Chain A
Amino acid sequence: MTELNLVQAINRTLRDAMRDDPNVLLLGEDIGVNGGVFRATEGLFQEFGADRVIDTPLSETGIVGAAIGMALYGLKPVAEIQFLDFIYPAFDQIVSELAKFRYRSGGQYPAHVVIRSPYGGGIKGGLYHSQSTEAYFCHTAGIKVVVPSTPADARGLLLSAIDDEDPVLFLEPKRIYRSLTGEVPDGAARVPFGRARIVREGSDVSLFAYGAMVPPTAEAAERLARDGVSAEVIDLRSLVPLDEAAVIASVEKTGRAVIVHEAARFCGFGAELAALLAEKALYSLKAPIARVTGFDTPFPYALENVYLPNADRIARAARSAVRAS
């Protein structure tokens, strides 16, 4: 075990994966000599050289298209998209190509690519360095989407992503890259996809969150406890595949659900969770499902703290749910 913050855990995990398997290589903008704008790849160029830590021209479609070709050929590329906000030039490669290669070839050409990308607000990044648009990708069949919220999960999920035979979008909550540290296993402690983590057990209300929304959700649970409300906090960790059993089991126990994400509400990932609960846990519900999310506005610069869900909003939604029945 080593005490690391989240971005250090990612750096250490990339290093270990590259030491273990010569097929693993990295490509992206400013990831080599410069070590990445968030330093996620610091020191890797020096250790593995330009052939395995590839600084690319400024083209996201080039990065993902090339990564696909490498994967088809048998390498295990881990591509970095500098900010999730800049992934759209590669949207065609991800949605039309990467996610469909196995299917459209009848299983002849699996394309195993990991795309890492920092996402989310809280760093004063304005419109184009803050968005949380995981739902676009979750909607597409053929690509897995995972989001760690702790240094240990960052390592465990990234190891699983690199091992996985399918394409994986690995979203990194940049707001908490350095704000918390935790014990990280040194070995290959993989976190399997499709398994949510119970952050805190509770019996009155279930709070669902992922990524950078887990800390404020846990804080809300703490405040609720002081008021005598027992909140269960579930960190989804893996959006595709989703641990539907864990979501349903929690609501069957508590009868109330509050869904938290920083993305806009309309057609956000929370809509899928709410639909799942309506389809499979309706008779357990004692109160309407609540969503605490970003507003249906573009992501603002000066007013980002107004936009982002915080512990206060989450706790209020939970109290309303408890009061409703």
Chain B
Amino acid sequence: MVEPGTPSTASPVSGKTTYPETGLLEAYRLMVLARAADERCLMLQRQGRIGFYAPLMGQEAAQVGASHALTPEDWIFPAYRELAVALARGVPLRAIFDQLLGNAEDEIKGRQMPNHFGFRRQNFVVASSPIGTQITQAVGAAMAAQRRKDSIVTIAFFGDGATSSNDFHAGLNFAGVYRCPSIFFCQNNQWALSMPRKRQTRSATLAEKATAYGIPGVLVDGNDLHAVYAAVREARARAVSGGGPTMIEAEVYRFGPHSTSDDPKRYRTDEELSAAKERDPIGRLKGELVATGKWTEEADRKLWEEVRATVSRTFEAAEKASPLDPRSIFDDVFADLTPRLAEERAEYDARTREGGLPS
């Protein structure tokens, strides 16, 4: 572990923390569920049944491992690619699909594009599109927890591109100064939309950037569930014991496009993608489970079948939910309607009463 002020680059974790045996199959099931949901959502977008989607495929071990290393009281500050974090947190798949559809059941009331969900009950703060902004917010929440003497951590999820953002610098700098209980979890998926990792920064690793802020930076193989789990677990233990923040760089690869609006063939080769898929975190964990006698090919085939059926069934049910009440457009701008918003809503009501179309 890099100590504050030590001019070294990232180091591996101690290796003493291991994934709880009982949780491994559950972790695998979640990773498969996330992959199946991801594949389905890409298809649904092509069919015009959802408007947009940003896939996470390739990042399942990083997300599930990190999530399982936390407690339910810890606060998650996600970016917009954290579907598997939400699932591992106990968010029902249905709630995620309701958000993708923006229907009447959607907990954020259809306010944002797909993937930008938030679930207060699971301490999963609502995401936004600007890059890196959640990092300083996670630090502020950690500073608040520190003041209330709550034994929790906040964790910010972000990608390699975000390490170039203003808020990455501001957030790590604040966290270093105040030694607050924060974890900065960077999923380096090698591509910030079309920009490769090497052209994002001249730094040899992203984790080493932490050193300049006087906080430990840890580099882990993000396809290794055990390594991710151990790194986050150790960062969490240090944070709640007053040892301050940690940055973790989990090296992964974004198998899919940046989003359904993107065609990665314009900027990367099939060979690169195939090579990355050799290291697929799901295949890797399955191999381990089969080799240790915890899993069989037959059980795997059944799991995929079940999971795909669950995904389809859940989405079709979500599609049947009622649409949003158009009048809700005026809610939650402020705690109460301002006179101006009340007037705009009254104008809307009058138009629909007169037979105008609701939208």
Interface assignment of B174: CB less than 8 Å from any CB of chain A: yes
Q: Which residue of B lies closest to A60 (CB)?
A: B170
What A residues does B94 contact at CB under 8 A? Answer: none
Q: Which of B116-150 contact A (CB under 8 A)?
A: 116, 118-120, 125-126, 128-130, 133, 135-145, 147-148
Which of A62, A141, A242 neighbours the largest number of chain B CB atoms within 10 Å of its CB?
A: A62
Q: How many residues of B contact A (CB 8 A)?
A: 48
Q: Which residue of A lies closest to B328 (CB)?
A: A106
Q: How many residues of A contact B (CB 8 A)?
A: 50
What B residues does A64 contact at CB under 8 A? Answer: 136
Q: Which of B111, B133, B166 contacts A96 (CB 8 A)?
A: B133
CA A228 to CA B136, docked complex, whole Å:
58
CA A207 to CA B188, docked complex, whole Å:
58
Q: Which of B108, B129, B333 contacts A108 (CB 8 A)?
A: B108
CA A256 to CA B177, docked complex, whole Å:
56
Interface assignment of B39: CB less than 8 Å from any CB of chain A: no
B334 touches A144 (CB 8 A): yes
Identify the stretch in B230-238, B291-299, B335-343 within 8 Å (CB) of chain A at 4 or more residues.
B335-343
Identify the stretch in A1-9, A51-59, A176-184, A294-302 within 8 Å (CB) of chain B at 4 or more residues.
A51-59
CA A213 to CA B228, docked complex, whole Å:
58
B334 touches A65 (CB 8 A): no
**CB contact under 8 A between A105 and B144, given known A65-B137, A72-B125:** no
Interface assignment of B107: CB less than 8 Å from any CB of chain A: yes
B109 touches A66 (CB 8 A): no
**CB contact under 8 A between A69 and B138, given known A92-B133, A96-B130, A105-B126:** yes
Interface assignment of A100: CB less than 8 Å from any CB of chain B: yes
What A residues does B154 contact at CB under 8 A? Answer: 69
Q: Which residue of A lies closest to B131 (CB)?
A: A92
Q: Which of B71-114 contact A (CB under 8 A)?
A: 75, 77, 106-109, 111-112
Interface assignment of B332: CB less than 8 Å from any CB of chain A: yes
What A residues does B170 contact at CB under 8 A? Answer: 57, 59, 61-62, 65
Interface assignment of A281: CB less than 8 Å from any CB of chain B: no
Interface assignment of B171: CB less than 8 Å from any CB of chain A: yes
A73 touches B128 (CB 8 A): no
B332 touches A57 (CB 8 A): no
What B residues does A110 contact at CB under 8 A? Answer: 335
Q: Which of A192-242 contact B (CB under 8 A)?
A: 194, 240-242
A65 touches B143 (CB 8 A): no
CA A72 to CA B173, docked complex, whole Å:
20
Interface residues of B (CB under 8 A from A): 75, 77, 106-109, 111-112, 116, 118-120, 125-126, 128-130, 133, 135-145, 147-148, 154, 166-167, 169-171, 173-174, 177, 331-335, 338-340
The 4 closest A-B pairs by CB, nearest first: A69-B140, A65-B136, A66-B140, A62-B170
Q: What are 28 pairs between A and B in contact, CB < 8 Å?
A: A56-B174, A57-B170, A59-B170, A62-B136, A65-B136, A65-B167, A65-B170, A66-B136, A69-B141, A70-B143, A70-B144, A72-B125, A72-B137, A72-B140, A73-B145, A73-B148, A92-B130, A93-B167, A100-B128, A104-B111, A105-B118, A106-B109, A108-B118, A108-B120, A109-B125, A165-B335, A241-B339, A241-B340
